[in-house]
Amino acid sequence: MQQGSTTDRTPLIVDVDGTLIRGDLLFEAALQLVATQPWNTWKLLTWLKGGKASLKKNLVDTIDPHISSMPLRDETVAAIKAAKAAGRPVWLASASDQRWVEQIAARIGGIDGVMGSDGVTNLSGANKANALVERFGHKGFDYIGDHHVDMPVWDAARRPIVIAQSSGLERAVKRRFPDAEIIARPKTPIRPYFKAMRPYQWAKNALVFLPAIAGHSIGDLTVLLAAFMAFWAFSLAASSAYIINDLLDLPGDRDHHRKSKRPFAAGQISIPRGIAMAIGLMVVATVIAALLPLEFLAILLGYVALTLFYSFYLKRQMLVDVIILGGLYTIRVLGGIAATGEEKSQWLLMFCLFFFLSLAIVKRSSELVARRDAGKSAPPGRGYAINDLAMLLPLGAAAGYASVMVVMLYLSSPQIVSLYAHPLRMWLICPLLIYWISRALMLANRNEMHDDPIIFAMTDKVSWLTGLVVAVIIAISI
């Protein structure tokens, strides 16, 4: 930023939402109310009837948005430091409630004063401009903002300083204030949006192909097309649910060594855009599902409903969360059966339920082990304590070995003879499953596993080799 003379004592006024923090306190707090007190969501409309300032006041009284972990904008922090180094006073002026602005100021340090909404007046636009002029005089301050609503404030400022959230804002500012200083320009790379959809998680949806593979009808083009449509319907619906889950779990993600880098937690994508993404993906998924049998559409909508219920409530319930996670995998198999018209196999469904319950327990265990080794307490809002590891790991082993037992019972059943020319060879799969499950549990206990077993399996050479050997055994058994 350009600096004036060494005797320049003109205050630097800094906006908060979108300017100093990469987010909006109002949206963050509203989401936390929905996530932690869903039964009080209706109050948002009641509070809004009293105006935005009233809404913010009530949210401050009700919700802790975890300001200490919110991502800051580097350019703005640098501008504040430069102003302080030059001996200039720095104030924060925000439409957010005064109490939140004070918390932000305490986090930054060295802030000379704050101005915010007071429950009656929403300190935004013309209201903010008038308040600043009354305190510092017309053209008596420099102002950093990031939104069209800041135009009246820049009109009253000596020097407009801009965080350009969009190219349209940058052009509008330059037309109106040719000497405005742009310290950050819009960045709209596609990568954060793609990352927010978690495409690596789509591998889970390959389970819709499992019924056709098990029924030896994967070579039928009609069946294959139906399975592909089911795959994309589940993938887009799951991405929508992941986005909603990320939006509702922002404080928890920011307290996690890896999840803090997710696009929403890192402030790379705004909350309104995230909501629009979730809605759009769900609409496309529903359209695809509508082209398949009605039973598949019902299963997909049930999957979405259960996923959302999990995000809002069930993920905070001890053991219920891992049972639901295991069940969500099994629902994908049911979706594949409905889409392709394959016969329901109780063996397949039982195997999936136990096997994926084991993986869900491994996921929770690895999260607890990572926090234990980092000297942290159990993750907030998850229903587990660190010492629960003594029970979780044995439970994961029991569920995993139960899935192997289901395979053994299936291989001993009469159905196996009609599907495989050499059924005895299929027994070689059992020790491989026992090895892979045991190894996953051992690595989780050593804190050597990614906290998502799916990512672990996709990037682990031993897992790929194990899967390849299983595929070869199946091929030579047919």
All domains of the chain, ordered by start, with CATH? 12-184 (3.40.50.1000), 191-477 (1.10.357.140)
Q: What is the pLDDT along the chain (478 residues), one digit of tens a residue?
A: 444 445 788 999 999 999 999 999 999 999 989 888 888 899 999 999 989 999 999 999 999 888 989 999 999 999 999 999 999 999 999 999 999 999 999 999 999 999 999 999 999 999 999 999 999 999 999 999 999 999 999 999 999 999 998 889 999 999 999 999 999 987 767 889 999 999 988 888 988 998 888 777 878 899 999 999 999 999 999 999 999 989 988 888 888 777 888 999 988 899 999 999 999 999 999 999 999 999 999 999 999 999 888 877 787 888 888 899 888 888 999 999 999 988 777 888 889 889 989 999 998 888 888 888 888 877 766 778 888 888 899 999 999 999 999 999 989 888 787 778 888 999 999 999 999 999 999 999 998 887 678 778 888 899 999 989 998 998 898 8
Closest CA to 289 of 347, 219, 238, 355: 238
Residues 6 or more apart whose Cβ sits within 8 Å of residue 300 = 233, 234, 237, 285, 286, 289, 335
370-403: burial string, b at 16+ Cβ within 10 Å, e else: bbeeeeeebbeebbbeeebbeebbebbbebbbbb
pLDDT at 319: 87
How distant, in Å, are the alpha carbons of 245, 292, 434 from that of 299? 20, 11, 31
Given its phi and psi angles, is residue 86 left (phi above 0), alpha (psi -120 to 50 degrees) or beta?
alpha
| Bridge partner list, 92 | 14, 114
d(CA 229, CA 226): 5
Q: How many CB atoms lie within 10 A of CB 283?
A: 11
pLDDT at 72: 94
Is the Cβ–Cβ distance between 104 and 67 less than 8 Å?
yes
Give me Rg for the CA atoms of the chain. Answer: 27
pLDDT at 381: 63
pLDDT at 4: 45
- Is-above-0.85 flag for pTM? no
Give the pair of three-digit tokens for residue 220. Answer: 């039928």
Q: How many CB atoms lie within 10 A of CB 169?
A: 21
